[in-house]
């Protein structure tokens, strides 16, 4: 470790108010007393991070330990997309990829399914542009995001990562509604408000709100509360 800093509830709340200034509902949900005190630990570049996290997690009084490098390096919320639509891969485990697709059940998204997905995206009001990300591109981005975790990169193959459409939307659009529409299409593994996922991760990692994954997008990322 190269440094440790204590963050009080009052300091955490002031930071939360700055990060989520436009979201009055969220700020009402989490007053200062709802935020835990915390310590910010800085680890030397190149050092093994897991032993540090494990040692701290075992200490009395510690509720939650999060590695910001791992959380914010996740490619699900990097890359600048507003909405991400990830496609089914071979032997996908999610129900949407394993039922209701006929001969394509359990298979990667077909050319016909991709065509239907593109058609739906192009008809969605609020979308200003979109790009297709193939598995090679996804792997390259993954390797860059997790460059400090050589074992993970070596254990992951391009075929493990889904193809995806990355959408850019108008700021005033309801991104939550826009992400729900393609989620119902065959061949779609998941569609989500990528900006909202990043906001949820901020609540968990930066502010110690352990149930951040379960928070509804409508509460964390209400339209107009970017």
pLDDT profile of the chain (226 residues), mean per 10? 90 92 82 91 82 86 80 53 91 87 88 96 94 95 86 91 94 83 92 82 85 75 56
Domain of residue 177 covers: 75-197
* Same-domain pairing of 83 and 184: yes
H-helix or E-strand containing 129? Answer: strand 127-133
Contact 187, 113 (CB under 8 A): yes
Q: What is the DSSP letter of 125?
A: T
Q: Which pLDDT score, from 0 to 100, does residue 218 have?
A: 73
Q: What's the pLDDT score for residue 226? A: 47
Look at residue 12 in the predicted model and tell me its pLDDT.
94
pLDDT at residue 223, as a whole number: 57
- Cα 14 to its chain centre, rounded Å, is 24
Same structural domain, 95 and 144: yes
One domain, residues 96 and 190: yes
DSSP string computed for 31-44:
-GGGSPPEEEEE--
Burial of 202 (0-12, 13-18, 19+ CB in 10 A): buried
pTM score, whole prediction? 0.69
DSSP 163: P
Burial class, 92, CB count within 10 angstroms (exposed 0-12 / middle 13-18 / buried 19+) = buried
Does 32 map to a domain? yes
């Amino acid at each position: 470790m190269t440094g440790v800093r204590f963050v009080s509830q009052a300091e955490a709340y002031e930071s939360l108010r700055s990060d989520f200034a436009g979201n009055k509902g969220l700020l009402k949900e989490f007053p200062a007393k709802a935020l835990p005190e915390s310590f910010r630990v800085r680890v030397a570049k190149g050092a093994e991070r897991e032993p540090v996290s494990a040692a701290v997690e075992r200490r009395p009084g510690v509720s939650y330990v999060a590695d910001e490098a791992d959380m914010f390096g996740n490619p699900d919320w990097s890359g600048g997309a507003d909405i991400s639509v990830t496609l089914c891969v071979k032997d996908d485990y999610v129900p949407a990829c394993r039922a209701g697709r006929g001969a394509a059940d359990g298979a990667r998204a077909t050319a016909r399914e991709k065509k239907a997905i593109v058609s739906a995206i192009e008809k969605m009001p609020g979308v200003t542009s979109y790009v297709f990300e193939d598995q090679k591109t996804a792997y390259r981005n993954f390797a860059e995001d997790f460059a400090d975790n050589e074992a993970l990169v070596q254990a992951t193959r391009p075929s493990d990562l889904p193809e995806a459409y990355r959408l850019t939307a108008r700021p005033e659009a309801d991104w939550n509604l826009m992400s729900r529409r393609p989620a119902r299409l065959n061949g779609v593994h998941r569609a989500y408000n990528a900006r909202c996922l990043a906001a949820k991760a901020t609540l968990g990692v930066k502010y110690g709100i352990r149930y951040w994954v379960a928070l509804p997008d409508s509460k964390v990322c209400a339209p107009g509360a970017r």
